[in-house]
Structures are given as C-alpha cells and as structure tokens.
Amino acid sequence: SDDGVLVLMDMGSAVLSAETAKDFLNPEQKKKVLLASAPLVEGAISAAVQSKIGASLQMIAKAAHDSLLPKQEHLVETSPGETAPPLHQSNSGHQKVLELQIQNMDGLHLRPAAKLIGEISKYPCEVFVENVTSQRGPVPANSLGELTRLQIAKGDFARFTITGNDPEPAALALRALIDSRFGEGDTYQNTVASNENLTLPVSPGVAIGFPFLFTPVYTNVPEYRLNSEPEIQAELERFRAAIRKAVSEQNERVKSFGSALSNQDLGVFEAQKLILKDPMITREVEAGIIQKRLNAAAAWAKTLSEQIAEQENAKTSYFQARAADTKEAYHQVLAKLVAPDQPQSLSNMPDSAILICEELTPALAERAFHSGIAGVIQMTGGTTSHGAILARGLGIPAVAGAKNLGSSLCAAGKVAIDGSTGQIWINPNPETVADISCRLEKQKSEKLRIVLTALHPAITTDGVAIAIGANAGSALEIREARKTGAEFVGLFRSEFLFQGFASEPTEAEQESRFLEALNSSDLPVTIRLLDIGGDKPLPFLDPGAEANPFLGTRGIRLLLAKRGFFRSHLRALLRVSKLGRVRILIPMLTELAEIFAVKECLSEAHYQLVDAQISHQWPIEVGAMIETPAAALLSEQLAQHVDFLSLGTNDLTQYVLSAERGNAALTRFSDALHPAVLEVARLVVKAAERYQIGLSLCGETASDPIAVPVWLALGIRSFSLSPDAVAELKELVRKLNISDLNKG
C-alpha cells in the first residue's frame, strides 16, 4: 500500500538485485521500501501484528528485526530477567499496576499474545509486562516477539504496568481479556495423548462392544531410486496429484460435515489444510524427488517424519499437538501414494464394535460412522485432530492415548469407554457393564426422543404453526435435513457444489450436481443462485482483485457481469426444476433493476431450452434474498416482483452494522438482535405481510434460543437453519406462546 513495503530476505536472496530493483523506483517510492535481514517466519509474524495495529514502517521493521530475540535468549540460556530491558519509566501520566494469572491452556502463546497487542493498541497508554512467576521481563506489551520471550505458561502471574493520563480503561480491558481467557474455550484445546498411562476424553458418550483392531495397509513405506528424468517428472506429478486429492478431500469433508461442527472446530479444520499446502514442505519433498531421486512416498515420509519427530519432542503441549495434525497430513497423503487403490477395510468388523486404531483419521471416522461403530479408542491421537472433530460432530464416543493398554485391548473380549472422561474398561465387570448399559440406554432414548419429536410439526402452545427448514450445501446435508425433521430446504448454498472446479462447470455438469443433491431427498429445495465473492471465492468466476470483497462484485452482481455463464447456470436450474420442487433465490440484491435483469436472463434461458426441446419447469418461483440494507429498505418494492423473500441475517447484520462478519475483533457486532438490524428486519416482515408472500429467516440467528422468541414476536413464521439444530428449534417453538411474546 502507499504506507510502504518491508521486504524480508532469507539467506538465499539476491541482495544486489533487490537493491537494483529498488533503484528503479522513484525517490518518493524508494523512501518507503525497506529491505530487511529480519528472519522470515518470526519477522513476518511480528511485522504483521505491528502493521495490523497501524504502527509506522520503521516500527514494523524494528519489530521484525527484534523477533528472534526470544529464541536467541532461550538458546544461550540466559538467566531469567538478565537480558530484560529496564522497565520503561514514563515521565508523564498515572500508573496502574495489575497482577493477573494467565489461565489459557497454552499460556500466552501466539494467538492470545496477538490479541493482547490488538487490545492495548486501542488505548493511549504504554504497557509493560513481566512474567512474575519466572521473573522474566518487563517487556513492552506492543511487541509479539518480546511478549513470547516472557514464556508465560498456564498458571503464571503476569504483571502489567500501564502508564498514561487515564490508565483505568486499559486496565479494565486487560482484566476482561485475561478473565475471558482471550476468548479461547477450555474444552478440547490442543491436548495430545502423552506417553504416560493417561487416556484423554475426545468425544462424549459411553460405548461398549468387542474391540476391533484397525491396522492401516501402508505401514511400510517403499523406498527406491528413480532412474531417469521422465520417472522423476512422473513421480513429481504423482506427488502433486496426491496433495491436490488430499486438499479436495478436506474441502469435501468441510462441505459434508460443516453444519455438524462448531466454528472453532471448523477453524481447526481449515488451519490443518495449511499443512498440506505448506510451500516449505512441498519444496523439500520435491527436492527429495528431483535431487535425491527418491520416490514420492519416501520423500514425503522423510520430510514429514522429521517434522513430526521435532514436534513430538517439543517441550510444550501446544507444539506436541501440532505433531498430531502433521501425522494426519502424513497418513492422508501417504495413503494416496502407497495404496491408492486399496481402501482400508472395515468390512469384517462385528456389529457395535469399538474401533481401536493408532489415530482416528477423518476418512476412518467417516467410514466408522457409516458402518455403525459404537466408539473409538485411539492409541495416540490428539483432541483437535480432524478425526476427533468429526467424531464429536457425528456423535461417536471416543478416547485417545491408550498406547500403553495396546496389547490388553487387543486381547480383550469386551471393552467399554466413557468419551466424556476418557475412561477405558478392559473386560469390564458385570456391575460396570450394567452401569454402562444403563447410561447407553438413556443416551439412545434421548437421541430417539429428539429424532422422533423432530418429525412432528412445531406448533406453539397457542396453536401457531412455525415452518422449520434446513440450510444445506451438499447432497449429504439435504439427506441429513430430511432425517432431522426439516420440512424443506430453505437455503441451498449452491456454491459449495462447485468448489472443486478450476474452470466454469458446463451446463451438463451443473445439472448433474444439482440432480445428485435434489435426488438425495424429496424435500422442496430453494436453490440460491451461486453466491460467489466475499468470503466465498471460486476460481472459475473471478471478480478480479478487490480491496473490499464483501462490498465488491459479489453474488448477483458477479453473475450479471458474466452473463454467458449465468445463462448456462439458469438453464441447468430450469432443467432440474422439472422435478417440481425447486425455487430460485437471488443473493446480494440491492435494487429492483437486478430482479428485472435476472428475470430477463431467466426468460432467455427458458426460450433457449424451448428451442432445444428440453423439458423444464416454467414458470419457476423466484425469491429475493434480503441481506443488504438497501434490499431491506426497498423490500416493499421488491416484494411486488418476487414470489417470496428470504431474510439473510448473517450478511444483513454485517452490512447494517458495518462490521465484517468473521472478523474476530468485531464479534460483539455479530448480533442480529441489534436494534438497528431489528429495525430494518421489521420492514421486511411488513412487506411480506402486505404483499402476502412467504418469508423465511435463514441466518445463524435461527439457531439461537434467545433470538428465536424475538423473531417470532416480530412476525417471522418460518426458519431455515443447520440440519443438526432443527430438532432443538422445534422443541423450543413448542414451548413458546406467541401471544405472551407479543405482550413482552
């Protein structure tokens, strides 16, 4: 940007050519480009944090330069406090000293440290921090590198010295941040099974059954030399294809199970994908193939095993947990290189078995779910691995860390587990069996009760029927929606069907994806036109570089800008609409002209299909997604030209409150019950009532038990939400009384 550029250069960088390149700039630009010898990784992180809080280019460069200090200090084993800079003495202002205990599982690791810096940057104060427990510091609290030097672990006391004209607000904010553990929950944090005889809870619930030992088919990694250039090229391609396949499997998984996972778990999923895409790992493996002429599997195994060993030997559980993630990536890619055609078999598994495995990979968790296993015991494994996340999302009880019990587990006739406590019973005695069986019955009947009642309609105590549908993004989710009692699919996010496409899907490809989804149940489905852009870019419809994608060429704006593709999209939708239960929803509307433009394209698509004698539904119902303030303000106008409205509170909230959704620093604004949002939502309800058209709310707020009564009082009578939340919403609605709510 105009603020300047900091260039970090590693050992291999050509300093002279970098300087020459800089010489080509005009003097004004030249002043703002700094070449730095700061370390790449630590330097970039420290620089990014400083840049985020608006520091000057010089300050950013200094932070990058100083970022190795913690490591240097650690390696020369200086005595605590010895290298600490003197406590800064401010000449002016008041001083406030706070001493607080850090409760985060991994102490003040990178994420909380970055949050701390962000928070204090909001106040005109200087803050210094000391680790009172290990007598490190004080250090300025605005530097990530300095903060990590303090090595503040869980339970350590940190002293904050705040100086300024009014240090009180900063002190309050700091206390709140530390009390909230920097927004990190305390369940399933980066825990891994240790080597001691200690098992870990991974996924709640009890299970009892016969142990079934699962051994992966690729325990031995073949190693051989490549003899020729074509062999090297072929092996490189095999490696790249394996990585592509692994990444696309991850995407599919997020798509299939996303609704069953919490945002925090989804975040872990996304982060783990980065291991597969890590350019340093790729470079090293490819160097192994090209320079050492190793086959891809051996090169991959070598690179990853080294990383895993390093991470496993780390002192902190935080880094040990990363080993579990790396192992998962290791196995995932290796399976593709070593035994691509040989799926690991669960076919001879007895009914209701307890699966015993080294680590629960996502693929294994998926297959275990479909084969009806009762529970999982992992020999090693962590609590934040993909497999662990999926087990929780799919409701499979699981524990980890049973390494030392390995041989007795395999020899046992029966085993039982409690996934909430991590307890394992080998050949449990009759009392334990009775106790577990009783808990199991309760567990089953609770699940059954929810599922059975979910199939009944949701009617309030004063007799008002509320329609409850599901949001979906895949065939699997539509199928789940049917099972969990959804009466319709109120929002089908079609963009998730085309994530694997690098180029525009053809009309036939689109039709077949839509058909596959629609054929997975008999529910009526509202298909949203591709909502690409914002946080959902797709490579084949690129709006180009945008400074502000959420305010950019997104949703219907992008489709109208690419009319050729748009018509093929509409033709595919019209073709599948012959099933008779499809409606079309327009995303990101801002004005009436867009509805007219869509209708024009739709009728062109219709006539093209007529000419080609292709059967389809005509006319088709078209709805408007109300998710921009403009659409909400104009909803009376829009309502006269569409068949239904859909209230998208996720985007409406971000646009009304001018607070980017997903921005962790702005979570307090992700509140659909904000009076400003309710005010515009009221207009939408009125418009739907006045023109007698359907209105359904399809944002996340539909699964918030506090928000639902408010929406009902406002006049919403139809909701669409994650399939897994349908049953609970139905149960909640059955307890509410609309007349009482209106009185409130």
Nearer to ligand PEP, 199 or 649 (CB): 649
Whether residue 386 lies in the annotated active site: yes
The neighbouring-strand residues paired with 77 are none
**Three-state SS at 741:** helix
Q: From the candidates 109, 386, 569, 606, which is the catalytic residue?
A: 386
Out of 507, 627, 700, 724, name the contact with Mg ion by CB under 5 A.
Answer: 627
**Three-state SS at 695:** strand
Smallest separation (angstroms) from ligand PEP to the CB of 628: 10
Out of 317, 344, 650, 737, name the contact with ligand PEP by CB under 6 A.
Answer: 650
**213 torsion bin: left (phi>0), alpha (psi -120 to 50), beta (else):** beta
Residue 288 found at the interface with ligand PEP (CB under 6 A): no
- Span of 29-37, 198-206, 390-398, 646-654 interacting with ligand PEP by CB under 6 A: 646-654
702 phi/psi in degrees, rounded to 5: -65, -20
- Site pattern 570..609 for Mg ion (x: CB under 5 A): ----------------------------------------
Nearer to ligand PEP, 60 or 573 (CB): 573
* Cα–Cα distance measured from residue 611 to residue 609, given in angstroms and rounded to the nearest whole number: 5
- Of residues 588 through 627, those in contact with ligand PEP by CB under 6 A are 627
Whether residue 616 lies in the annotated active site: no
Residue 651 found at the interface with Mg ion (CB under 5 A): yes
Smallest separation (angstroms) from ligand PEP to the CB of 14: 45
Which among Mg ion, ligand PEP, none contacts residue 635 (Cβ within 5 to 8 A by kind)?
A: none
Residue 491 found at the interface with ligand PEP (CB under 6 A): yes
Structure tokens at 714: 């406002």
CA 199 vs CA 397, 412, 568: distances in Å: 14, 17, 55
Which among ligand PEP, Mg ion, none contacts residue 112 (Cβ within 5 to 8 A by kind)?
A: none
* Residue located via tokens 């600490």: 84
- Of residues 681 through 700, those in contact with ligand PEP by CB under 6 A are 698-699
Closest CA to 84 of 153, 39, 134: 134
Angle at 625 between CA 621 and CA 631, to 5 degrees: 120
Closest CA to 668 of 29, 114, 173: 173
Which among Mg ion, ligand PEP, none contacts residue 699 (Cβ within 5 to 8 A by kind)?
A: ligand PEP
First to last CA, the chain: 51
Which among Mg ion, ligand PEP, none contacts residue 507 (Cβ within 5 to 8 A by kind)?
A: none
Helix ranges (H only) for 464-614 are 475-483, 507-518, 556-561, 563-576, 592-611
Residue 648 found at the interface with Mg ion (CB under 5 A): yes
Beta carbons within 10 angstroms of residue 653's beta carbon = 25
Structure tokens at 473: 């993004």
- Span of 102-110, 184-192, 558-566, 644-652 interacting with ligand PEP by CB under 6 A: 644-652
* Cα–Cα distance measured from residue 715 to residue 276, given in angstroms and rounded to the nearest whole number: 48
- CB 211 within 8 Å of CB 415: yes
- Span of 12-20, 53-61, 304-312, 651-659 interacting with Mg ion by CB under 5 A: 651-659
Residue 700 found at the interface with Mg ion (CB under 5 A): no
Nearer to Mg ion, 138 or 587 (CB): 587
**Three-state SS at 208:** strand
- Span of 188-196, 362-370, 424-432, 649-657 interacting with ligand PEP by CB under 6 A: 649-657
Exposure pattern of 416-452 as b/e (b: 16+ CB <10 Å)? bbbbeebebbeebeeeeeeebeebbeebeeeeeebee
- Of residues 519 through 538, those in contact with ligand PEP by CB under 6 A are 531
Give the footprint of Mg ion on this chain (CB under 5 A).
627, 648, 651
Give the footprint of ligand PEP on this chain (CB under 6 A).
491, 493, 531, 627, 648-651, 698-699
Active site residues: 386, 698
